[in-house]
Amino acid sequence: MVNNLPEKISKLKEKRNAVILAHNYQRPEVQMVADYLGDSLDLARLSAELDADLVVFAGVNFMAEMAAILDPDKRVVIPDRGARCPMASQLPASTVRRERKEHPSAAVVLYVNTLAEAKAEADVVCTSANAPQIVNFLSEEEILFGPDRNLAWFVQRRSDKRIVPIPANGHCYVHKMFSPEDIRLLRERYPDAEVLVHPECDPEVQMLADHICSTSQMMLRAKASPARQFIIGTEIGLVERLRREIPDKEFIPALNSAVCKDMKKHTLEKVYVALRDKKYVVRVSPKVAERALEAVQRMLKISGRGTSD
């Protein structure tokens, strides 16, 4: 165990001209050493603009891949290469190709929680912060949307287009843990609390929420809202950030056990080693990266046009 890690990380960062990007679900001690902390959309936007020689990405595989795709000249490293979002593996590129053949007039919109090979088959990608905005911008009436079925449901409620989930049952095991009973009980206990849930939650849970939004949108809502108490239906790392940054309000996790095991694989020590040894390098084949980049850039362009949903 290395002592004074935050200090050592800060010195190494300067020496390497490095930047640490971290997702809102990271352990609090990793969040604290990050230069930027955000949701998938924030981190994608930042990755496209960074001026650094090395990017340490404390997030899951698809997020680090996206940073590498957005700036192929930059070295992107991930502290634990086993940090892999299981949902992203639920939609192989071959399934996207097959579905496209079966629905030739549909547009393919893929959630960022996909691997680069799948993104390379998409017309455009989206995040939980902008999915309805992206879908409604397109001219096609039929949209193949994947891999999260619950996000597809959320989009369908905000669009007149026909949304076809691919695969039929893509999901996040963490957000599947929330139940409508939990939310109802918490509402009874905290009648003045505002309920914020992520669109990866089941429809029955979404229907009980006051706001359904991405993790960074939850931060913004909690700051802007007149409410003093909030019930939070997403991974526990965000609750830790909310409590730290908004200490005068109360945040009640809808479920204490909502922990993404893969996000938590990055530790402070691994972040230090990643900086020191410049590992583990995230590689995407140039051919795949080029095609995936088009779909990601299209999202950033559309998303920049108006407020995210």
Distant-in-sequence, close-in-space partners of 166: CB < 8 Å, separation ≥ 6: 91, 95, 96, 99, 144, 145, 146, 147
Smallest gap from Cβ 194 to ligand 13P, in A, equals 17
Residue 127 touching ligand 13P (CB under 6 A):
yes
The one-character DSSP state at 282 is: P
Smallest gap from Cβ 7 to ligand SF4, in A, equals 29
Smallest gap from Cβ 113 to ligand SF4, in A, equals 5
Residue 172 touching ligand SF4 (CB under 6 A):
yes
Region of 34 please: left (phi>0), alpha (psi -120 to 50) or beta: beta
Which element (helix H / strand E) includes 12? helix 5-16
CA 12 to chain centre: 27
State residue 3 phi and psi, 5-degree precision: -85, 165
- Got the DSSP string for 171-185? --TTGGG--HHHHHH
Smallest gap from Cβ 39 to ligand 13P, in A, equals 3
Cα–Cα distance measured from residue 294 to residue 135, given in angstroms and rounded to the nearest whole number: 16
Task: Choose among ligand SF4, ligand 13P, none what residue 95 binds, the Cβ cut-off being 5 to 8 Å by kind.
Answer: none
Smallest gap from Cβ 227 to ligand SF4, in A, equals 25
Smallest gap from Cβ 88 to ligand SF4, in A, equals 7
Binding positions for ligand SF4, 7-46, rule CB under 6 A: none
| Residues 196, 233 contacting (CB under 8 angstroms) | yes
Residue 215 touching ligand 13P (CB under 6 A):
yes
Near ligand 13P by CB under 6 A: residue from 114, 128, 156, 303: 128
Question: In the complex with ligand 13P, which residue's Cβ is closer, 194 or 200?
Answer: 200
Binding positions for ligand 13P, 26-85, rule CB under 6 A: 39-40
Question: In the complex with ligand SF4, which residue's Cβ is closer, 40 or 308?
Answer: 40
Distant-in-sequence, close-in-space partners of 83: CB < 8 Å, separation ≥ 6: 59, 60, 61, 262, 263, 265, 266
Q: How many residues bind ligand SF4 (CB under 6 A)?
A: 12
- The pairing of strands 211-212 and 229-233 is unpaired
Question: In the complex with ligand 13P, which residue's Cβ is closer, 106 or 212?
Answer: 212
Task: Choose among ligand 13P, ligand SF4, none what residue 262 binds, the Cβ cut-off being 5 to 8 Å by kind.
Answer: ligand SF4
Site residues, ligand 13P (CB under 6 A): 24, 39-40, 113, 127-128, 172, 198, 200, 214-215
